[in-house]
Amino acid sequence: MTYLVNRLLSVALTLLLISLITFMVTNILPGDVAMVIMGTQSNPEALAGLRESLGLNDPLIVQYGRWIIGLLTGDWGNSLVFKEAIGPLIADKVVASSLIVIMSMAIALTCAVPLGVWAAVHRDKWQDNTASTTALFGVSLPDFFFGIMLILLFARYLGWLPSSGFVHPADDFLGAVRHAFLPSLALGLGLMAHLTRMTRSTMMSVLGQDFIRMARAKGLRERTVIWRCALANAIGPVMTVAGLQVGYLFGSIIVIESLFNFTGMGWLTYQALLNRDIPLIQSTVFVIAAVVMLTNLIVDLLYTLVDPRIKLS
Amino acid sequence: MKRREFLKSTTAIMGAVVMTGAPLAVAAEEPVRGGTLIWGHSETTQNLDMHQTGTASTGRLLQNVHESIVSADADFNIIPNLAASFAQSDDGLTYTFTLRDDVVFHNGSKMTSADVKYSFERVMNPETGAVNFEVFNAVKSIETPDDLTVVVTLGSVNAPFLSRLAENGAGVVMPAGTGDIQGETPIGAGPFKFVRREFGNEVELERFDDYFGGPAYLDKVISREITEPTVRLTGLRTGELHMINDIPLDRMSEFEGNDDFQTVAWFPLNWDFVNFNHTFEPFKDARVREAFDLMIDKETLMLGALWGQGSTSASPSFPTSASYNDAISQRPQDFEKAKALLQEAGYGPGDLKIVFKVTTNYPYHVDSAQIMLEWFRAGGVDMTIEQLTWSDWLSQVWVDKDFQVTMMNFFTLWEPDFLYYSLYHSTGGFNYRKISEPALDEMLEKARVTVDNGARMAIYKDVQKYINENTLDVILWFRNGTIGAQPNVMGLDSVVQPNGSEMNFHKVWLKS
Amino acid sequence: MMRFLTGKGVFGGSILLLVIATALFAPLLVPETWATQMDMRARLSGPTFAHPLGTDQLGRDLMYRMLLGAQTSIMIAGTAVLMSLVIGLPLGVISGYFGGWIDNVLMRLVDTLLAFPALLLALTISAVLGPNLTNTIIAIGIAFTPYLARIIRGEALRVAQMPYVEAARSLGTSHTKMILRHILPNIMPPIIVQATISLAFAILAEAGLSFLGLGTQPPDASWGLMIQASRDYLDIAPWTALVPGAAVAITVLGLNIFGDVLRDVLDPRIA
């Protein structure tokens, strides 16, 4: 129990630090949003007035305080270019991004686990070499490059899937999956490669352990040994790594969502950065960092639940 | 294509709309009502307040929502629109507008002279931050003797007053009191009602059944903002989009003569120029500016960056308008002369280190800059390129004037006062190059009070000569506008309007 | 040394040697101007005798651009990783060696930074500093520092608890001497492995930044910038993307394979 309390306290402290770093970084961004709002009709007097009314002239500490209090009380302010309340805007985009993050995770795990097991079982044979080489290519290919190739193949030449846009699952579930498929695949490739390597090495170390030899000696069928006994023990670390990759995915969605015009968190963050929408940048960056950190926390906690050998310390 | 041939083929479509791929036999078909048109828009719309906005991307969409007091025909004669008729007093100081009595706004209220007065005063008020506020500079009073009459009295002659009302949103009438909400939810009297916008992604318009010009055919227009040309093109090919504007320039040849798609091309969409910062020490010297001009081979640059989809010009005046000066010409590329001029100005090879700021908002500007960089380097100038996002370009170049060389495009304006005064007068709203030429200021001010149109146009021809001789900017070319559409999109010939606005969907319909 | 000579090791090593040789010698053999020379009559041309790998939208030879781009990409990635090592090494060593509150404070900071995806951090920093070569290096370098610091700290902690280090400590050896003599030499192998892998990620990050327009500036050739420029011409000239894409993939592949082998050799605990 004290572990949990300590852990939560440390999360709260880290969140505060995250907010501070986010705020500092966004406040030294060049260009300002008053300019973006006024565009080509900007002139110094009008800009000065607008800056004043947006509170951009207040001391930084005041602006930071205002922001933090807003974050805590649920008033996240308004996006300066989207002209919408930031809270609901982000909530909306998180749903979109969750769709491709979950789908890419599903794609990656369904491919990576069998491939990794297959490679581990046939260690150093052609099967292993094939799987390992494929995985190596996977981690070596830039995801946006892979995304471009997918657009060309599936949208342009085959015409099977849409190349851009987001459809809300509540409106049209099949349409949502179709639109999310290519970006998920582009995201999932690198992840799959990574998880294949992870599954392979974990399986190898599990297969070398005594209880596997014992199971074999007891006359269990090889399939049972591998898929029941060994994989059950190897899946924990693989899932942990998968959970930790959420951070990597949230980095990649910036490029991938922009490429596919998929209006999720990554797209929103990139729009905010491009347009110097400082309140929005602050909130999106903060939310992404917080999501990454909370996922790591959940993975940690789940791990201790699943694997009682890990002491809560 | 040789230069002469090329010019011939573009003159053929000057100021005109050229369509290909559309079978002519269907021209007589009866339009049907209904359907949602999905348009892949090439740019992101910004501030939706038509009085304030200066960007072509936003105006393109909003002209479906708004109507102007007057409009222009293909020869740039001013014609009635929201005003059923208008009259100008002999001294040029009083304008009387008689309004139509069948105009209804999207909020259900009927248009009266009070709305016109409100709109004009709103544009006039410097606090509104309207691009066109100077149109009303000379206005002394706006009176509304009755519900359908508006009398505008000027304190001094402002020759371009009426024609500027027909162009670029200056004469747009909004319902009285709606100014504060126009930026997010525009309300006008146009054929389509604004429904919603998700910034940077999608705008939805809906047919307005009480439109005074008769209801449009389409139920809805959805504008999806897709800035990536390849994605836009793929969307059109796969049928996700009914039409796209701005077919990537290098791809026009694939579409022309392809019966699976219709294309519309018109000329000119906009014009481009290379800018010098006139307060940057080397560029204060006209010889240095001329030397840079001499290093640019405009025709090759146009073929390189626009893939031939444009036409070079020494003047930014609308090519078919009365103010166009065809007596001036661009300087041919001449490195020897350029180097000599630089030497004369005190800059030997390698002495000048210049940064060329270019916005990624226009990919062909990035290509242009790369081509020019080769020439500038060949001419002994040490140049580097800095790519800026649109918002950074606006902040660094447009507002802070922190640049040495840059490049920009403007939409073509047929009213020369707007064009030259805002860009070249030392107090002009678009004078981000900090040009300050007393002789030029004098000419521009004189043109404003010259009532005789012939004499006024003659002054603008001198203005163009002055800009050219002193190389205030390097005027490059006019660029073609393009639309690609599915074969079932009908009425595309009405999409480009004579007053220069594009993407008007009033007469567009979808064949089932 | 012999342990490098597995099939995998030779393969990875030779790819790496090839890429490094290209980065080093291409600028000596190929004049810089060849990468920016335009040929308006041969734009988006497929592979021909004159242009073995085709040309881009301005008629520039893709082979020369790829060869000269190697230098830019490798230089940016290499300097960025070096930078994150220079910052991360002292941070990690001090944190791991001294432990206590220093460790707490430093690692809290590092953990916080780790919550920001590296690309997001690099993107934001690049937007703050403005796009040019130096700033791209700084952005990637800063973004990678927490990862390296974390790993170095773990290693330093492990080594600091070794019996021989404890012994040296009880003899009253100074901290500086302890770190230089005992800690650093023993944490080097895993750091070298990690740096190799980071290098692979840095090349991908440079490509990603340039792809979004915030990295290398034209007309300089870098692989990411080449991929960015190819976006508009993909369906008519796929080679404009394939050439730089393959260059990135092969280099990163070489680095990853080499990193794997290095790990097997230098750090047998993990294998």
CB atoms A285 and C120 under 8 Å: yes
Q: How far apart are alpha carbons B319 and B314 in whole angstroms?
A: 11
Whether residue C44 and residue B229 make contact (CB cut-off 8 A), yes or no, is no
Contacts 24+ apart (CB under 8 A), C190-195: C190/C151, C190/C155, C190/C266, C190/C267, C191/C85, C191/C89, C191/C148, C191/C151, C191/C152, C191/C155, C192/C262, C192/C266, C193/C259, C193/C262, C193/C263, C193/C266, C193/C267, C194/C148, C194/C151, C195/C81, C195/C85, C195/C148
Mean pLDDT on B175-194: 92
Helix (H, G, I), strand (E, B) or coil at B361: coil
Mean pLDDT of A48-77: 81
C247 to chain A nearest CA, in Å?
A: 10
Residue B275 confidence (pLDDT) = 96
Query: Which chain A residue lies closest to B199 (C-alpha atoms)?
Result: A82
For chain A, say whether C75 makes contact (Cβ under 8 Å).
no
Percent of chain C beyond pLDDT 90? 8
- B vs C: CB pairs below 8 A: 53
pLDDT at C264: 76
Query: Does the pLDDT value for residue B257 go beyond 80?
Result: no
Residue of A nearest to C113 (CA): A18
The pLDDT tens digits of the residues spanning A91-115 come to 888 989 989 999 999 999 998 888 8
How far apart are the C-alpha atoms of A269 and A282, rounded to whole Å?
9
Chains with 3 or more CB pairs closer than 8 angstroms to C? A, B
Quote the CA–CA distance of A273 and C131 in Å, as a whole number: 14
Q: Does C132 touch chain B (CB under 8 A)?
A: yes
Q: Least CB-CB distance to A28: which of C119, C128, C211?
A: C128
> Mean per-residue pLDDT for C106-133?
82
Query: Which residues in chain A have their CB less than 8 angstroms from residue B228's CB?
Result: 164, 259, 261
Mind telling me how many Å the CA of A49 is from chain C's nearest CA? Answer: 24
Report the gap between the CA of B308 and the closest CA in chain C (Å): 12
pLDDT at B298: 95
Tell me the pLDDT tens digit for each residue of B150-175. 999 999 888 889 988 988 788 999 99
Respond yes or no on whether the N-terminal peptide bond of residue C218 is cis (omega within 30° of 0).
no
Of all residues in chain C, the one with the smallest CA distance to A142 is C204
Q: With beta carbons under 8 A apart, name residues in chain B contacting A159.
A: 238
The CA distance from B361 to B414, in Å, is 25
Give the pLDDT confidence score for residue B1 in this predicted structure: 33
CB contact under 8 A, B54 and A43: no
Instruction: List C55's β-bridge partners, or say none.
Output: C61
Residues of A in contact with C207 (CB under 8 A): 142, 144-145
Asked if A142 lies within 8 A of C124 by C-beta distance, the reply is: no
Mean pLDDT over each residue of chain B, to the nearest integer: 87
Q: Which of A160-174, B365-379, C128-142, C192-206: highest mean pLDDT?
A: B365-379
Residue in chain B nearest A89 by alpha carbon: B198
**Cβ–Cβ below 8 Å for B387 and C219:** no
In angstroms, rounded to a whole number, what is the distance separating the alpha carbons of residues A269 and A281?
6
More confident residue, C140 or A217: C140
In the predicted model, what is the mean pLDDT of residues A290-308?
77
Q: C122 to chain A: nearest residue by CA?
A: A251
Rounded to the nearest 10 degrees, what angle do helices A143-150 and C184-211 cross at? 30
Nearest residue of chain B to residue A262 (CA atoms)? B201
pLDDT-derived band at B10 (thresholds 50, 70, 90) equals: very low
Percentage with pLDDT > 90 across chain A: 6
As beta bridge partners, residue B267 has B14
Q: Using the predicted structure, report yes or no on whether residue C2 has a pLDDT greater than 80.
A: no
Nearest to B378 by CA among B333, B330, B331: B333
A60, with CB counted inside 10 A (0-12, 13-18, 19+), is exposed
- Greatest pairwise CA separation for chain C in angstroms: 77
Tokens of B419: 């064009």
Of the listed ranges A37-51, B73-87, B181-195, B287-301, the least confidently predicted one is: A37-51
pLDDT tens for B411-439 read 877 889 888 998 999 988 789 999 999 99
**Most B-contacting residue of C57, C216, C222 (CB-CB within 10 A), to test interface:** C57
Q: What is the pLDDT at residue C133?
A: 81
CB atoms within 10 A of CB C42: 16
Task: Please report, in angstroms and rounded to a whole number, the separation of the first and last CA atoms in chain A.
Answer: 11
Are A142 and C117 within 8 A, CB to CB? Answer: no
Cα distance from C248 to chain A (closest Cα, Å)? 7
Structure confidence by residue, pLDDT tens digits, B41-53:
988 887 888 888 7
With contacts defined as CB-CB under 8 Å, which chain A residues touch B46? 39
> How close B45 comes to chain A (CA, Å)?
10
Residue of B nearest to A271 (CA): B200
Contacts of A79 in chain B (CB under 8 A): 199
Q: What is the mean pLDDT of residues B445-459?
A: 90
Please give the radius of gyration of chain B, using alpha carbons only, rounded to the nearest integer: 23
Looking at residue C110, its amino acid is V
Place of tokens 């607008």: A50
Q: What is the pLDDT, as a whole number, of residue A281?
A: 86
- Tell whether C123 lies on the interface with A, counting CB pairs under 8 A: yes
- Identify the band that residue B11 occupies on the pLDDT scale cut at 50, 70 and 90: very low
Residues in B closer than 8 angstroms to A261, CB to CB, are 201, 226, 228, 231
Q: Which of B374, B377, B388 to mutate to test the interface with C (most CBs of C within 10 A)?
A: B374
pLDDT tens digits, one per residue of B195-254: 998 877 889 999 999 999 999 999 999 999 887 777 788 888 888 899 999 887 777 777
pLDDT at B338: 95
- B55 contacts in A (CB within 8 Å)? 39-40
Q: Which residues are within 8 A (CB) of B194 and not within 5 positions of it... i.e. 6 or more apart?
A: B48, B65, B106, B185, B186, B187, B203, B204, B205
Does B447 score more than 90 pLDDT? yes
Kindly state whether B360 is in contact with chain C, defined as any CB-CB distance less than 8 angstroms. yes
- Residue pairs between chains A and B whose CB atoms are closer than 8 Å: 99
Q: Are B370 and C231 inside 8 Å of each other by CB? A: no
Which residues 6+ apart lie within 8 Å of C173 measured at CB? Answer: C181
Which element (helix H / strand E) includes B86?
A: strand B83-88
Angle at which helix B286-295 crosses helix B363-378, to 10 degrees, equals 110
Residue B258 main-chain phi, psi, to 5 deg? -105, 115
- Look at residue A41 in the predicted model and tell me its pLDDT: 55
Task: Please count the helices (runs of H) and the strands (runs of E) in chain C.
Answer: 10, 0
The predicted structure's pLDDT at residue A39: 59
A13, A25, A288 member nearest C117 (Cβ): A288
Chains that touch B (3 or more CB pairs under 8 A): A, C
Per-residue pLDDT, C237 = 84
In this predicted model, which residue has the larger pLDDT, A137 or B446? B446
Residues of A with CB under 8 A from a CB of B: 30-32, 35-44, 46-47, 79, 81-84, 151, 155-156, 159, 162-165, 259, 261, 263, 271, 274-276
| Residue C192, C-beta contacts closer than 8 angstroms, at least 6 positions apart | C262, C266
pLDDT of residue B509: 92
